[in-house]
Amino acid sequence: MELVSINNNHRQSLPIDCNTQSGKRAHEAPLKEIKRNPFIEANTKEVSLASLKKDCIIPNFAKDNEKTIAHHEFIQTALSSVNKMFPNDSINAPEIRVSHEVKGRVAEAIYKPVKELLEHEKTQYYERMAFIIRIPSLSTIINGNKLSLTVGGVRSYNQENLYSRKTYEKVKFFIGFQNMVCCNLCISTDGFQDEMRIANCEELEAKVLEIIQGYKAEKHLHKMKQLGNCSLTERQFAHLLGKARLYNYLPKKEKAIIPELLLNDGQISTIAKDYYNDESFCRDQNGDINMWNVYNLFTAANKSSYIDSFLARNNNALDFCYSIVEVIKSKSPNWFVS
């Protein structure tokens, strides 16, 4: 694959194809049809950047009345950073999902019944927000699936003490890929910061740029390619899911010596169902399933996560699936598949 420079100053190469056309290659499987699904579902809804700016108030820290970094400021800062790093590439508008609406009213309407409130008398903001910004001109193919370079972040006001004075605020940020067959995100530890502490938008931009520059895309893609070279039999897959159900009830000492798994029981059930029913990533005719498909079943099930746990579980899905591949290749004992 062609090497594409990440920016003009820091020559870190991304092993991704800059050609966005979906023509077939002799050494690749046929490209699968792209579906426009949300990157996260759960209890979220889609909003526009303009709506966040116009229709939402900005929470303040109660003891000093200092404002928080607003959701739209986080998104705009990330978008500005992406434009700086990829000045010659096409960049899509942010896709934004929000949840946990907090409703209020202006002082003049304090005694009005809810049904009599006028629109201009209502206030709102969203406690949790997640967004992605896709760069479709930077893409690659893995196992017949087109992956586009993507950045994104999460902001959850419930992780801030809004009843106190302003201090460092916490956000999450990543750079990785999005599988355009299913819109699942593909996140690795190298491109993910689970708790970024910042005081203002200038610090936020500096840290976003640092994460993008430090992202090891080649290592991330190599891991994902390895998943397609390893398969589980139906028996092994059933054993894996059974152990996954037991995992959350293990004693702490036993948990500490096996690979971490963050998905919950409901998500494990979704994976079991999709093993039979998913159009793109289900078992083959013999009941076998390769680990690339298992990984995508994991990331699809993760779409039911709340916004504040979504990115960590996505990152964990890759680490967990890759650990299974290493175990199978080395034929070493493992609690999940032995």
Bridge partners of 150, per DSSP, are: 134, 176
Name the least confident of 112-116, 314-318, 331-335.
331-335
pLDDT tens-digit readout, 52-75: 999 999 999 999 999 999 999 999
Can you give the pTM of this predicted structure? 0.89
- Closest to 285 (Cα-Cα) out of 338, 228, 215, 233: 233
Token readout for 8 is 């003009």
What's the chain's average pLDDT?
90
Segment 227-253, tens digit of pLDDT: 999 999 999 999 999 999 999 999 999
| Res. 154: pLDDT tops 90 | yes
Residue 21: which pLDDT band, with cuts at 50, 70 and 90? very low
Strand residue runs (E) in 180-234: 184-186, 192-198, 231-232
List CB contacts of 7: < 8 A, sequence separation 6 or more: 84, 85, 86, 87, 213
